[in-house]
Chain A
């Protein structure tokens, strides 16, 4: 009995302390939004960041100081809600509820948000329509960025997938082959691909030295495969719009015939190219699951070239986590671009005027340069409006052509890749 009692006490105390620890942790981890300093006469703009930490760092460290300085009387309050699904969603729900009740929404600016959410928000008039009247710099936004917008959001930074290569390793391979002298210090430019056809040639010229991840696991794989699809379709990027899909295949689940048809008509050329390079890939096509595993191959010096999200690449390079001689390239003929991040402004914002001012400021040449330099993104305005030295520095990655590729096409593409490309690899 006494033994039973003591084991009961142990059981309860351990269980109790475990729950207590968890609850305390939950309490401290709870974010405290909307802390505003109201002593001075400045108007505080609450900005909600629904992206990864490098984006919120960039807002806190670059945009906020610049904006506060350029617009005395305003002060940005940066609140990070995190990437991934949750993110800004609850904040938008709150703004929506506030719109119905007339309460304070507690938010002025959503760094990344889809104006089609929450359901019913468009009809209720939650989001501010963006025009050249209230955001004059919208006039400079390029067509490909506007295409992704419905007029109630501000596309302000593009994300892109780059090719990253370890120049030191490549140079060593060239030396071993006698393609360059043993005293060479740089990789000659003819050994670095600049277009898609050159990349395809490069991959098989250096077997085992290139890899891309599975397309459904990361944008670094998805954009590479998408780029192959564009190539196979004569770079006709408008063939893959939402409307084009709906017209050809409707909205329901694809039938077996439609799946076969979509692969034959739109993807066959891409599968052919990707199958052709497969024997030349790292470990005969050891497609990693996600960009983390893929990047390890570069970091552990197992391969020379990979595909990688530009913002992650710059962040990791900055922290010294990539090989020292890692260099980045973008394809000249058509880049691998993921799409644009768009901001939204609720019509019931505390300071609507300030929020619109911020939107306009983000589309200024100065901030668009920051997009390129600090987060490795793509500008939403034309490169012509950016300083000429920036254009020179980023000569390898410049383009104003950003293709669109809707999510319905993506689903079919993922399935097609697994059916037509991946199974050819035999890895026992």
Chain B
């Protein structure tokens, strides 16, 4: 977001002619208290409670003791470990696919003006405006066995060897890539747009030296956007539910559907809690990287 105007210049309390002035910091804290409270109760407290619940065991006499037994059980359950490994693998693949698709598109959009570019931008942003649930339904019809895609391949190209990714791991990757491409392009183009034209022009000429300047100047400037896109996509995909639930195989499962099934169908809520905390821990480093890169960007903007 481009921020214009006299940001940074403080509001002058003197211009407001009030007799009793509430100190601005008190007023500020009062106004921000409510959303902080909501965040505390609905995000930090549940996360904290799950960590403490799963780390403690109740002794027969009612006292609590720290215990890793719940986690030991998780890692002793072959299915749980398999699902976790599967989730990580699908997440890694999807994040890579999204980047490899999104980067060329964004690069192209940065270099292109005119109708063609506008059209491509609209198409790339289109999935952002398709709710996940509708996307899942549409993709089932489109890529499923004997679906539209297969019919096109058979009738137009005579290609018979199509294997539907629906209900296979590839189905999850296709679905999540479809959903995630818009945000990827959006963030990367935003990142590229922060680089001045003069720097980019050196890159459009393809002499070796100019190329090096692209590599040395443009890419480092893009580092933060790239990091944000990779980490944000990781968190989104790793924490996804609808697409893997509707497009993925019965086994292995992504953590999202696995947790829901454990919580709801198998009626084992404390196991689901352990699974949830494990997803937090696994993605902890990624979360930190994400927060750090956004924070450094914001701080730079603010100052």
Contacts and interface: CB of A to CB of B under 8 A. Distances in A.
Interface of A: 214, 216, 253-254, 256, 285-289, 293, 296-297, 300, 302, 408, 411-412, 414-415, 418-419, 422-423, 425, 427-428
Contacts of B262: 415
8 contacts: A253-B269, A256-B73, A256-B76, A289-B246, A300-B146, A415-B266, A418-B261, A425-B251
Nearest to A216: B265
Interface string B145-161: 11000000000000000
Interface string B34-68: 00000000000000000000000000000000000
Contacts of A428: 168-170
Interface of B: 73, 76-77, 79, 82, 140, 144-146, 167-170, 245-246, 249-253, 261-262, 265-271
B110 to A, nearest CB: 25
A408 B266 CA distance: 9
A335 to B, nearest CB: 24
Contacts of A414: 261, 265-266
A253 B145 contact: no
Contacts of A415: 261-262, 265-266, 268
B245 A289 contact: yes
Contacts of A412: 266
Contacts of B268: 253-254, 411, 415
Given A216-B265, A415-B266, A425 B144 contact: no
Given A253-B267, A286-B167, A428-B169, A300 B250 contact: no
Contacts of A423: 79, 82, 251-252
A283 B63 CA distance: 53
A422 B249 CA distance: 9
A286 B248 CA distance: 10
- Nearest 5 pairs of A and B residues by beta carbon: A422-B251, A415-B266, A411-B267, A287-B250, A216-B265
Contacts of B245: 289
Contacts of B77: 256
A288 B167 CA distance: 7
Nearest to B247: A289
Contacts of A296: 144-145
Nearest to B253: A418
A163 to B, nearest CB: 20
Given A288-B167, A428-B169, A422 B250 contact: yes
Contact of A419 (B79, B167, B170, B270): B79
Contacts of B249: 286-287, 425, 427
Nearest to A255: B73
Given A216-B261, A253-B269, A425-B251, A418 B79 contact: yes
Contacts of A302: 145-146
A289 B265 CA distance: 14
Nearest to A411: B267
Contacts of B146: 300, 302
A285 B246 CA distance: 16
Contact of A297 (B145, B246, B250, B251): B145
A411 B261 CA distance: 10
A285 B251 CA distance: 10
A422 B144 CA distance: 20
Contacts of B140: 293
Contacts of A427: 167-169, 249
Contacts of A254: 268
A411 B250 contact: no
Contacts of A418: 79, 250-251, 253, 261, 266
Nearest to B69: A256
A418 to B, nearest CB: 7
Contact of B250 (A253, A408, A425): A425
B101 to A, nearest CB: 21
Contact of A214 (B144, B169, B250, B267): B250
Nearest to B137: A292
Residue of A412, A425, A427 ringed by the most chain B CB atoms within 10 A:
A427
A427 B248 CA distance: 10
A286 B269 CA distance: 28
Given A415-B266, A428-B169, 4 more contacts: A296-B144, A415-B265, A415-B268, A427-B167
A296 B140 CA distance: 11
Contacts of B266: 411-412, 414-415, 418
